[in-house]
Amino acid sequence: MSHVTPVRKGREPPKRPQDPDGTRRDILETASREFALNGLSGARIDEIAARTKSSKRMIYYYFGDKEGLYLRALENAYRTVREGEDQLDTDGLPPREALRRLVEFTFDHHHEHEEFIRMVMIENIHHGQYLERSEVISGLNVTAIDHIASIYLRGVEAGDFRPGLDPLELHWQVSALCFFNVSNRATFSKIFGRDIGAPDEQEKLRENAVEMILRFVAT
């Protein structure tokens, strides 16, 4: 009776999907939700792999490790908001209307992308140490300052805005109003017994945010 010796195969690399770009996008979107829900320490690569058309090996193949995936997800979150800002057609608008549109966009984006807010909150818990490693986030956010600076300077030249404001601080004020609306919505609603997230409440807060910024810059 003859015996056939089994051939031992070496460790095979992960099979590449037919749509690698689509697979990476799927992994990033799923990872963003997982990190936003559970933080960096609580997120599980197994869970991300189970919810995507991939495997742990495939995730590590594309992103290196868990921290690498977290950083890419963080970069993607910032890239999404900046790409949205870039699509705003504000150059042809009067400065007040341009600033209004920018504030409205920021408010709406944060309202609709709670994962972005949660990821920024988590990164602040880590004191920005992962963001600091990124080679792209600083460049992405320079465009945000350039955008608001352009609107502000046009407003100063037109006599609509008071001079002497720092565009970075103006960006901070816009971000603060729109960010707090999402980050503290749950606690505010519970403490004061009013659903801050209700459509009518959000409509009022959105308009108030615009008016506060416009009054802040007004001559």
135-177 pLDDT, tens digit each:
999 888 899 999 999 999 999 999 999 999 999 999 999 999 9
Q: What element of type H or E holds 181?
A: helix 167-183
Query: Above 80 in pLDDT, residue 10?
Result: no
What are the CA-CA distances from residue 205 to residues 46, 51, 103 (Å)?
40, 36, 12
Let me know: does 83 contact 105? Beta carbons within 8 Å.
no
* The amino acid at 178: C
pLDDT for the residue 14: 54
Mean pLDDT, rounded, for 60-82: 94
pLDDT for the residue 70: 96
What's the token pair of residue 138? 């600083």
The residue ranges of every structural domain in the chain are: 70-217
Q: Which residue has the higher pLDDT, 203 or 15?
A: 203
Quote the DSSP letter at residue 132. Answer: G
What are the CA-CA distances from residue 189 to residues 108, 134, 198 (Å)?
19, 35, 10
Phi and psi angles of residue 21, each rounded to the nearest 5 degrees, phi first: -65, -40
Fold exhibited by the domain 70-217: Tetracycline Repressor; domain 2 (1.10.357)
Mean pLDDT, rounded, for 7-11: 44
Residues 6+ apart with CB under 8 A from 57: 14
CA atoms within 13 A on the CB side of 178: 27
Average pLDDT of the residues of the chain: 91
